[in-house]
A and B are shown apart, each in its own frame.
Chain A
Amino acid sequence: MDRVPILKIGAVLLVSIQIDLEDQTVLALQEDLADRITRTGARGVIIDITAVDVVDSFIGRMFATIAAMSRLMDAETVVVGMRPAVAITLVELGLSLGGVRTALDLEKGMRLLGVAVPGADGR
């Protein structure tokens, strides 16, 4: 089973999903993230899905679970980089991810979490 790496930038944990997610990998990621949030005191989690070409109900539910779990540990979650075809499909599937914050890309996600983006002049 592959494990998804979790990177730390200041008070934000960054998860960039680059593989075709297996259910076991998804469950391991939830546990790894919970552990890293408590150990680092992170205030934000960014899940980058730029490279993800399919989000089914299981993976979609993972986003909601991670967001709810992080919130209980005082961290905000933002899902960034959703492809247009994935967004269209998710809505038709019936999964609107109501409780999950999203941003178009990593930079916007960082700003949403109140993190200064280097070289972006605060705009």
Chain B
Amino acid sequence: MTPDTTGGEITIASNDDVVRVRQLVRTAAAAAGLSLVDQTKIVTAASELARNTLIHGGGGSARVESAARAGRRPGVRITFTDDGPGIPDVDQALTEGWTSGGGLGLGLPGARRLVDEFELRTEPGAGTTVTVTKWPR
């Protein structure tokens, strides 16, 4: 997918890629007509998830695209994918304050609160995919 104002794909391999993900999501969220507060929420969630992909997944990618639903204005959807070790205990990873090390344990539960839809697919040894969506109000 070629980067444009509403989407694109970014490889997450270093810290400055996290910044690039934030910038791409900001552009897409503004183009989708999200309010300033909702733009800030989805960009912040994307920043948390991109850092998870980098640190826990050993790198991966973020795909930003327009999300469609019948009869409503399109939203912003971001899919984070990595081929890392996966998450052995999903319930634990989604628990407030639980951390596998170093962080505050806000990443996944915090990001989930900031978006409208949150989907986590993971399997030990088979990587992790997190998809989040924010709809314009």
Q: Which residues of A are at the interface with B, using a C-beta cutoff of 8 A?
A: 20-24, 53-58, 61, 83-86, 88-89, 92-95
Task: Report yes or no: A85 in contact with B37, Cβ–Cβ below 8 A.
Answer: yes
Rounded to whole angstroms, the CA-CA distance of A56 and B110 in the bound complex is 10
Chain A positions within 8 Å of B48 at CB level: 56-57, 93
Contacts of B43 in A (CB 8 A): 53-54
Interface of A is mostly: helix
Interface contact B18-A22, CB-CB below 8 Å = yes
Q: State how many residues of chain B have any CB contact under 8 Å with chain A.
A: 27
The yes or no answer to B74 lying at the interface (CB within 8 A) is no
Give me the interface of B with A, judged by CB distance under 8 Å.
15-16, 18-19, 22-23, 26, 36-37, 39-41, 43-44, 47-48, 51, 96, 103-104, 106-107, 109-111, 113-114
**Residues A93 and B44 in contact, CB atoms below 8 Å apart:** yes
Contacts of B110 in A (CB 8 A): 57, 92-95
Q: Are B113 and A85 in contact (CB under 8 A)?
A: no
Task: Given A85-B39, A89-B114, verify A23-B106 contact (CB < 8 Å).
Answer: no
Q: Given that A95-B104, A95-B106 are contacting pairs, would A56 and B44 also be in contact in the complex, using a CB cutoff of 8 Å?
A: yes
Given contacts A54-B44, A55-B44, contact A20 B23 (CB under 8 A): yes
Task: Decide: B22 and A20 in contact? CB cutoff 8 A.
Answer: yes
Given contacts A93-B106, A94-B113, contact A58 B40 (CB under 8 A): no
Task: Indicate which residue in A24, A58, A83 contacts B51 across the interface (CB closer than 8 Å).
Answer: A58
